Chains A and B, each alone.
Chain A
């Protein structure tokens, strides 16, 4: 009954404001922080291909529990992706509250950002656009990884990029993730007063410089990684190299000629 009255009135029957907006704000930040930091780790893992196919394979199998089970279990990765997907959906749901919801809001903000030429105001538009794009790009990627976790590896991942022509999709996803995540983590610091120091203006300037450095680094790493997968996929597709087999599993045979 109190839910009915609170829903109708917008305040509790005692006339008190709901604590839900506080929780929504907190969880929007918490899920964003998790996803932002997760993406840093994720980028390091996928970029292991730049070192070697074997290293990327080893890392992949590590996530499949190679250190616990005799045979790698890809369901572990599926379960991890599912967990990230849930956080992703919660974050999208909470972030959606901030987006412009009608033409006038969009028009007013866009005009304002154009007039002000104020970094943080313009960056929010980037964050909104990339966030919206990731509703689709991020969901598609996470779903793919969840149901095809067993294909992750030097061969499967590179064939996905080149053979399945998914590289344009991943290029867009990379740009969206790096811009959205980088701006989002920076904004979290501003929003909650992290690393504020004695002069918030000075520390914000430094934070923004660090933010761009990190975004630049991960964009470069991401582009190189994407290019590496495309190159390897091209080589597999055109029969330039044999299908990947971990070096540790290659049988080495010697033809020993016995001299009579």
Chain B
């Protein structure tokens, strides 16, 4: 039997001097397998064309539709409305990112900055020959390395992080995970000293307060807790 659910979404346009932050309430019939993304699309199509939110893939791959759902960051496309017994979902934009409007934030530019900051690419002195196969890796190591590559840069770990909210320059779990990924990859010739230069400070690995909300909310279930501990042990051991 279907029920009526209530979506309470924060609305605010920081570009407009007339706009005042408030919650708009929408009531709609829940359908089978309804995701929050489907509900929001229905609201925008039938109730409020002005409601802004981000999406691309609708399948938990692009990482665009992150938002705070009843206080916790989650992907709208992977949030089933039936999992909320009281049928009330309060939505807010993810903190820590620049607010564009309503539920829409700019994760793209932040992630771009993060990638540049941790030099998120293979560093090697060998000129790659793309006509030849890449040097092989131990399968176990390859699995562990590419496991970390499953990050979709949705920003949920950043929005979940209390440290990041207090200290805007903190690199966040996504950045530390990226460093761990390249530190594990034998194709990357950077040393621990090189990685220290990227994240060896209080805005990097030593700023992390181990609140682990990143790990507990990551929609891709990445091993953020252990990889951050791994990088911390590695970098603190440097002389």
Contact = CB atoms under 8 A, between A and B. Distances in A.
B201 A187 contact: no
A17 B162 contact: no
B166 A190 contact: no
A246 interface: no
A191 B215 contact: no
B108 interface: no
Interface string A187-212: 10011110010001100100000000
Interface stretch (B78-86, B113-121, B139-147, B225-233): B225-233
B223 A200 contact: yes
B236 A22 contact: yes
A100 B216 CA distance: 23
A124 B162 contact: yes
Interface string A12-41: 000011110110111000000000000000
B210 interface: yes
Contacts of A121: 162, 211, 213
Q: Which of under 10, 10 to 19, 20 to 34, or 35 or more describes the interface residues of B?
A: 35 or more
A116 B95 contact: no
A59 interface: no
Given A17-B201, A21-B201, A22-B200, A200 B209 contact: no
B196 interface: yes
B229 A193 contact: yes
B197 interface: yes
Interface stretch (A45-53, A104-112, A229-237): A104-112
Contacts of B210: 120, 187, 190-191
B202 interface: yes
B220 interface: no
Contact of B160 (A116, A190, A193): A116
A26 B236 contact: yes
Given A21-B202, A22-B200, A22-B235, A120 B212 contact: yes
A259 interface: no
A117 B70 CA distance: 10
B197 to A, nearest CB: 5
Given A22-B235, A121-B213, A113 B162 contact: yes
A117 B236 contact: no
B55 interface: no
A115 to B, nearest CB: 3
A97 B202 contact: yes
A114 interface: yes
Nearest to A18: B201
**Which of A16, A21, A204 has the most CB atoms of chain B within a 10 A radius of its CB?**
A21
A97 B163 CA distance: 12
Given A26-B236, A109-B166, A120 B213 contact: yes
Contacts of A109: 162, 165-166
A189 to B, nearest CB: 9
Interface string B68-102: 10011000000000000000000010010000000
B2 to A, nearest CB: 28
Contacts of A196: 226, 229
5 contacts: A21-B206, A105-B167, A109-B162, A109-B166, A116-B71
Given A19-B196, A19-B238, 4 more contacts: A114-B71, A118-B211, A120-B213, A121-B211
